[in-house]
Amino acid sequence: MDGIEKFKVKVKVPVQWGDMDAFQHVNNTVYLKWNECARVEYLVKHVCGDFKKNILGPILARQDCRYIFPVKFPDNVIVGVRTAEILEDRLMLESRIYSEKHSRLCAIIYSTVMAYNFKLLRKAEIPQEWISNIKNIEK
């Protein structure tokens, strides 16, 4: 699977029969759910910890998906996620979804994640701790 090696965090997700739609391939919204699984694992395990206990946490501001190859049941997908860019008030994440059965790239997703202060109900600067954690995982 060309390119998967640049992702330190990977999540394997089984494709479910119910993920498919009337066109006999996985519905486009399911790719976004797979990305959410990988993005949350990346953030919780490697970047900001259990953010449900903190005042400051990550929230999804935007995501763009480029669909490349249709996925069908039965299969497993491997979702790799990494930080592509760190800005003052946001993280730019890149995810790639690969079909295990076909050993090929199926989708590329770019997600914008903001640091959000749940007490003040507004965005915040990316904490230095998150930046350090990202540098540790991405090295």
Quote the DSSP letter at residue 54: S
Cβ–Cβ < 8 Å for 123, 115: yes
Pair of tokens at residue 132: 């350090």
Domains of the chain: 4-128 (3.10.129.10)
Q: What is the mean pLDDT of the chain?
A: 95
Supply the pLDDT for residue 50.
78
Rounded CA separation 37/14 (Å): 12
pLDDT tens-digit map of 64-101: 999 999 999 999 999 999 999 999 999 999 999 999 99
Least trusted range by pLDDT, from 28-42, 52-66, 74-88: 52-66
Task: Report which secondary-structure segment, H or E, holds 13.
Answer: strand 9-14
Amino acid at 136: N
Which range is most confident: 3-7, 35-39, 45-49? 35-39
pLDDT at 61 over 80: yes
Least trusted range by pLDDT, from 42-51, 67-76, 79-88, 122-131: 42-51
Supply the pLDDT for residue 65.
98
Rounded CA separation 48/50 (Å): 7
In this prediction, residues 111-133 reach a mean pLDDT of 96
Rounded CA separation 79/129 (Å): 25
Cα separations in angstroms, 106 against 2, 26, 54, 94, 126: 11, 11, 35, 14, 31
Amino acid at 123: K
Percent of the chain past pLDDT 90, that is, above it, reads 89
pLDDT band at 59 (very low <50, low <70, confident <90, very high): very high
